[in-house]
Structure 1
Amino acid sequence: MAEELLPWLYLFNRGEDTQAYHRFGAHQVAPGQWRFVVWAPHAQALAIVGDFSAWQPLPLTAVEETGVWQGTFEAAAGQLYKVQITTGSGETLEKIDPFAFAFERKPGTAARLVAELDYEWRDRKWLAHRQQSRAYDQPLNIYELHLGSFKRHDDGSYLTYLEAIDEVLPYVKKMGYTHIELMPLMEHLLDASWGYQLMGYYAPTSRFGAPAEFQAFVDAAHRLGLGVIMDWVPGHFIRNTDTLAQFDGTPTFEYQDPHRADNVRWGTWNFDLGKTQVQSFLISSAMFWLQVYHLDGLRVDAVSNMLYMDYDAGKEHDRNQTGGRENLEGIAFLRRLNTEVFAAHPDVLMIAEESSDFPQVSAPVDAGGLGFNYKWNMGWMNDTLRYFSLDPSVRLAHPELLTFSWVYMHNEQFILPFSHDEVVHGKKSLMHKMPGDRYNQFANLRTMMVWQMTFPGKKLLFMGSEWGQFLEWRDWSQLEWRDLADPLNAAMQQFTATLNKLYRRTSSLWARDHSPAGIQITIGDSNQYLSYIRWGKGQDFLVVALNLMPEERQHFIVPVPRSGTYTVVLNTESYHFGGTWRRLQRTLRTRGVPAGDQPDSVEVVLPAMGALLIEQR
């Protein structure tokens, strides 16, 4: 057995094993026989304890000088186990298996034996389509979802993965989204961490069911035509002493330097991203979710924390060996991660949740970038929410909150996010951020969503925002579905679905998202109105006109690039969407008069605090 393991362990120790889950952890090697392989380089002795040994230690054997221990024992699928470690100082610890495929329900931390992850997939058509598509020139409209609080049973218990197939997927499909983004579903103990303080980097959380049931959820999503992205957290991990922390009695997964290891901001430990075995562990985890669970992408959490040595509290003056503030091993790790992922899966999404101005996050590694294909546009998000939360009279002094984003909108390949982070911890829901009375709050929200949908970049919206939920998001209870008994909330939901479907069918809103030629600003020097043209491939285009003030504008002139007949395809003030207009402008004919550097123009009534989307017939 040692001879069989040695070539792989050589690669693992060099940081070059990108599928370590095939060898580490617990694997059934024959009926009733399980092989256990654990990395604990500074341990004095290792054993497995579990149901199958009456929780008495079954010793593992060191594999030469590799830091790895292994043994084969009789056991059965479904039984629980832990790793017993005797440290160099003689202390005995019970730890999780870092490569476990499943765990018992919280608050327990024992791993559960999983016989196989050989699910019979039926998503071949989806995967073939994904391989033939380029994400950059396709629609990408993501519904961000926390599975534990989307819906719950009457007794407050969670939906299972299988129940979510019927409760979540048809709704997301009906609303017109292209993808679901799941907040982390890897095993974690603390509900209030929302899954961002992890212990199981290879195990879907047992809260909602078994691994095969999560595979069935992803499979069902694909067969409905929905992509599935999951948040993934390679920067830091939970502190609990029976998990990865001080795994073999010494810093094993975290930095040796306690100052660097300590993540004050989140109360966690930082991974040592320069350690080769940690690189194998984490890159293999990313590969695992893409290969075994057929995920369409990973949204990598807290990238800034991996890019900068001075990002965390108490580290404001930390510097690298060259005197800079960049975390050189973190940068190297991210480049290596993306290189390996795209070499194996060139058709997936690797999305950076990165809040700084670090350059070339979404540029290829061979061009000096980090290698992600998308970055969240946090600057656009912050400025947009600040602008729309202002009273209209105050907005007049702050047009830059909207127009500044034009300066850098093509610096990266962006996703425009209104995420969970913006509707929690006293920040108010999107609806509650809007100024004015209830009617004006909805009018503002509709116009802000048009701004998001027509601005260059892909889209993301957190659950509940689509109908204007007034309460902040609460992870401990389901969304306020009863809101939909209110006509304004129901109309807002209908508006979002209509806008989403218009986005999907209008190629000019996504085909040239990442090209300066994809947008032409025709009225941008006013602090009350905006107009611009979104260009698709060829001669496809859509004209956008926004009124950012609460007064209707009669005889408003909108520049257009061609003469002829136009149609208003969306008016945010339609009665059907909760507005006041029962008679809508439909057909517009050009005036034969140039405007805003365009050869022609149309005259419209621009609704108060509203938006028009205009297409040429």
Structure 2
Amino acid sequence: MVLQDTLADKSYLFNTGRSFKSYGFLGCHMHDEGRAEFNVWAPNAKSVAVVGDFNDWQDSPMKQIENTGIWHIETNNAKLGNLYKFAVVGPDGKRNLKIDPYATQFERKPGDAAVVTPPIGHKWHDGLWLGRRKRSKPAQRPMNIYEVHLGSWKRHDDDSYYTYSEYADELIPYVKELGYTHIELMPVMEHPLDASWGYQQLGYFATTSRFGSREDFLNFIDNCHLANIGVIVDWVPGHFIRNYDALYQYDGTPTFEYQDENRADNKGWGAWNFDLGKAQVQSFLISSALYWIDECHLDGLRVDAVSNMLYLDYDVGKENLVNKYGDNRNLEGIEFLQKLNQVVHQEHPDTLMIAEESSAYKGVTDTVVDGGLGFDYKWNLGWMHDTLKFFEMDPLYRHDHYNLLTFAFVYMYNEKFILPFSHDEVVHGKKSLMHKMPGDRYNQFANLRTMITYLLAFPGKKLTFMGSEWGQFLEWRDWSQLEWVDLKDPLNQKMQAFTKAINDVYHDERPLWEQDYEPEGMIYSNTDDNESSTMGFIRQGKKKRQFVVAAFNFVPVEKQDYRIGVPYSGDYELLINTEDERFGGTWTKLETQFTADKTPFNGQPASFTVTLPAMGALLIRPTKLNRG
């Protein structure tokens, strides 16, 4: 039979780890003539049946395709919208109801039955966006990411969720108005536990039904692209939900997880680790990645918890695990990540693969050919932790801890970094960014404005978590919306106005982003003056006479006649002063024009002086430079 031959061929590729779009045949697929086809991988099962509300939840037995481990059935009874699961009898004879690993929609929680859905038929309108994306070089473009947890950005008055459609109407214009270039969504894959924030996933091909239908989600992506906003989504290939009716021991034996229970059991996160060396698991996970990119037009995936996939001893109780070479590297995990990035970039060279990796593993963003993992970017968690620790400190003691800022200069070009102030740093008692800042309310805002300016001036792409843009005081709570009532306060309003202004400066000034990963893009004009607790550096554009001067004062004492060394004499102008009254500062009259003469300073042939605001920062650019 032709169908069986076709499925046998596809099953062979799946079983050899080379079926990278296995969502095209595994799972449930509706055909034009009303026929529903179900296929599921359960290699050690004694029997498998499909059950659903279309057969009164009675077994409709499936047949295994030529000993491939994949079970198949076709029926005319299942209709769009029907619920279903697979009844799997394991080698021990026990019958368990299991989810469809390839389901593209699940019923609303607390249920977890899959829903019979039609093929994706979305009519896309983002051709211009995708065309520009293919022609662009992301490393040389601005990237200022707004990180969002959909369930708590906004809610209705009765505390019910917004829908994807409502987010399209409100979130997209908001992000556009504030000048961000990308939205990064914390996981939108189906998950039963709200408190997991989506990182304990049930469905690897299904958008969560909390916010509406798959089509509504696709419309959201489409509208982001029409607004020239990219979309990145967090994706979790290292571990899966602990629920016994999900992937765990799917066929009655370890199927998606490691055979060794010690390796399979992720005690720290209460999850099961995928067996990343298993060919079928590679087919499954890489297919999931390509599904979100191919079918949902995502611009990138942020791969969560990469360190858990790189090291055998990352979890508690695994300190003695070693590989065949006697060290702690997870060789299967490393090879999987390399394969994942190679396949994704072969299919979509313009898609961003971003690693959330917390160790000093070398070569995360190096090419696989050069021995690296092949990611496009890595979150710089070391920079984030050190910067936050510095700014949380009483300014009186900052001069003794300047290494918290300067240490990043040592390794800033080791990887292609994204600088994140992420959700993990504003939850579980860590306080919001605003609340971390020392001093009274005025000084907290002054510190926050200075830190955000430092973020946007420092080499690397940027990410900030929602609520930080106006200085929300309460730390993030996943069970309620952001404190939008804050915006009735003039200081919060001015902080939000500052965010828009600094984001616009970042976007418009090429030196702030076009050489993020080139040493030539950074000139260290005054980065070792810990005694005065000030810092100055220059972000250099590709054109030699195009640059931005950044100067920072990390103490609440104004610095008169503060000298800044620059490459050229000539005229300069102010881009932003964080102490501008418009932003909540105290300066009612700004110094906006500066003239550099040929007075050498800090290794630069010219210099000019400014009044450096207390607990503030300045960004300045040249307007008319002299020759030489």
Q: TM-score range by the shorter chain?
A: over 0.9
Q: Which runs of 5+ in 1 are unaligned?
A: none
Query: Which residue of 308, 317, 320 corresponds with 2:320?
Result: 317
Q: What CA deviation, in whole Å up to 9, does each residue of 1:470-491 have, x standing for no partner?
A: 0010000000000011111110
1:187 partnered with 2:190:
yes
Within 1, Cα distance between the matches of 2:115 and 2:139?
40
What's the TM-score, normalizing by structure 2?
Answer: 0.98
Superposition deviation, residue 322 in structure 1? 1.1
1:587 partnered with 2:593:
yes
1:390 partnered with 2:393:
yes
Secondary structure of the residue aligned to 1:122 is coil
Superposition deviation, residue 57 in structure 1? 1.0
Secondary structure of the residue aligned to 1:397 is helix
Query: Which residue of 304, 309, 318 corresponds with 1:306?
Result: 309
Secondary structure of the residue aligned to 2:204 is strand
Q: 2:163 maps to which residue?
A: 160
Query: Which residue of 228, 245, 250 corresponds with 1:247?
Result: 250
AA partner of residue 561 (structure 1): P
Superposition deviation, residue 30 in structure 1? 3.3
CA contact under 8 A between 1:591 and 1:603: conserved in structure 2? no
Q: 2:571 maps to which residue?
A: 565
Within 1, Cα distance between the matches of 2:361 and 2:83?
44
Q: 2:52 maps to which residue?
A: 50
Q: What CA deviation, in whole Å up to 9, does each residue of 1:410-465 have, x standing for no partner?
A: 00000000000000001000000000111001100000011100000000000000
Superposition deviation, residue 122 in structure 1? 0.4
Within 2, Cα distance between the matches of 1:592 and 1:257?
69
Identity of aligned residues (%): 57
Superposition deviation, residue 238 in structure 1? 0.4
AA partner of residue 112 (structure 2): T
Within 2, Cα distance between the matches of 1:460 and 1:31?
48
Within 1, Cα distance between the matches of 2:584 and 2:535?
22
1:549 partnered with 2:552:
no
Within 2, Cα distance between the matches of 1:424 and 1:102?
30
Q: 2:514 maps to which residue?
A: 511
Within 2, Cα distance between the matches of 1:208 and 1:423?
24
AA partner of residue 593 (structure 1): T
AA partner of residue 64 (structure 1): E
Within 2, Cα distance between the matches of 1:240 and 1:521?
53
Query: Which residue of 254, 257, 260 corresponds with 1:257?
Result: 260
Superposition deviation, residue 6 in structure 1? 1.0
Query: Which residue of 119, 140, 143 corresponds with 2:146?
Result: 143
Within 2, Cα distance between the matches of 1:85 and 1:314?
32
Q: 1:11 maps to which residue?
A: 13
Q: What CA deviation, in whole Å up to 9, does each residue of 1:363-398 have, x standing for no partner?
A: 110111000000000110000000000001111110
CA contact under 8 A between 1:11 and 1:17: conserved in structure 2? yes
1:91 partnered with 2:94:
yes
AA partner of residue 9 (structure 2): P
Secondary structure of the residue aligned to 1:255 is coil
Superposition deviation, residue 54 in structure 1? 1.3
Query: Which residue of 106, 110, 113 corresponds with 2:113?
Result: 110
1:609 partnered with 2:618:
no
Secondary structure of the residue aligned to 1:460 is strand
Within 2, Cα distance between the matches of 1:22 and 1:167?
34
Superposition deviation, residue 29 in structure 1? 2.2
Q: 1:27 maps to which residue?
A: 29
Secondary structure of the residue aligned to 2:573 is strand
Q: 1:476 maps to which residue?
A: 479
Secondary structure of the residue aligned to 2:183 is strand
Superposition deviation, residue 288 in structure 1? 0.2
Equivalence map 1:229-308=2 (5 Å): 229-308=232-311
Q: 1:537 maps to which residue?
A: 542
Q: 2:404 maps to which residue?
A: 401
Within 2, Cα distance between the matches of 1:584 and 1:531?
19
Equivalence map 1:36-47=2 (5 Å): 36-47=38-49
Secondary structure of the residue aligned to 1:323 is coil
Q: 1:451 maps to which residue?
A: 454
Within 2, Cα distance between the matches of 1:86 and 1:319?
35
CA contact under 8 A between 1:100 and 1:203: conserved in structure 2? yes
Within 1, Cα distance between the matches of 2:170 and 2:440?
33
AA partner of residue 401 (structure 1): L
Q: 1:217 maps to which residue?
A: 220
- What CA RMSD, in Å, does the superposition of the two structures yield over aligned residues? 0.6
Secondary structure of the residue aligned to 1:8 is helix
Superposition deviation, residue 594 in structure 1? 1.1
Within 2, Cα distance between the matches of 1:30 and 1:586?
67
Within 1, Cα distance between the matches of 2:20 and 2:394?
52
Query: Which residue of 359, 362, 365 corresponds with 1:362?
Result: 365
Within 1, Cα distance between the matches of 2:61 and 2:4?
15
1:485 partnered with 2:488:
yes
CA contact under 8 A between 1:552 and 1:606: conserved in structure 2? yes
Within 2, Cα distance between the matches of 1:590 and 1:115?
66
Within 1, Cα distance between the matches of 2:558 and 2:488?
29
Could you tell which deviates more after superposition, 403-412 or 313-322?
A: 313-322
What's the TM-score, normalizing by structure 1?
Answer: 0.99
Within 1, Cα distance between the matches of 2:273 and 2:452?
36
Superposition deviation, residue 331 in structure 1? 0.1
Secondary structure of the residue aligned to 1:52 is coil
Superposition deviation, residue 165 in structure 1? 0.4
1:340 partnered with 2:336:
no
AA partner of residue 274 (structure 1): G
CA contact under 8 A between 1:454 and 1:544: conserved in structure 2? yes
Q: What CA deviation, in whole Å up to 9, does each residue of 1:58-116 have, x standing for no partner?
A: 11111011001000012111111000111111111000000001000011010001111
Secondary structure of the residue aligned to 2:30 is strand
Secondary structure of the residue aligned to 1:451 is helix
Superposition deviation, residue 49 in structure 1? 0.5
Could you tell which deviates more after superposition, 406-415 or 75-84?
A: 75-84
Superposition deviation, residue 47 in structure 1? 0.5
CA contact under 8 A between 1:188 and 1:199: conserved in structure 2? yes
Superposition deviation, residue 2 in structure 1? 1.7
Secondary structure of the residue aligned to 2:54 is helix
CA contact under 8 A between 1:272 and 1:278: conserved in structure 2? yes
Secondary structure of the residue aligned to 1:253 is coil
1:521 partnered with 2:527:
no
Q: What CA deviation, in whole Å up to 9, does each residue of 1:214-234 have, x standing for no partner?
A: 000000000000000000000
CA contact under 8 A between 1:49 and 1:55: conserved in structure 2? yes
Q: 1:416 maps to which residue?
A: 419
Superposition deviation, residue 32 in structure 1? 2.0
AA partner of residue 618 (structure 2): L
In the TM superposition, structure 1's runs of 4+ consecutive aligned residues that sit over 6 Å from their partners are none
CA contact under 8 A between 1:262 and 1:269: conserved in structure 2? yes
CA contact under 8 A between 1:188 and 1:200: conserved in structure 2? yes
CA contact under 8 A between 1:335 and 1:365: conserved in structure 2? yes
Within 2, Cα distance between the matches of 1:606 and 1:290?
46
AA partner of residue 582 (structure 1): T
AA partner of residue 578 (structure 1): G
Q: 2:626 maps to which residue?
A: none
Within 2, Cα distance between the matches of 1:238 and 1:616?
54
Q: 1:600 maps to which residue?
A: 606
AA partner of residue 429 (structure 2): G
The aligned length equals 617
AA partner of residue 129 (structure 1): R
Secondary structure of the residue aligned to 1:83 is strand
Within 2, Cα distance between the matches of 1:436 and 1:31?
69
Superposition deviation, residue 580 in structure 1? 0.2
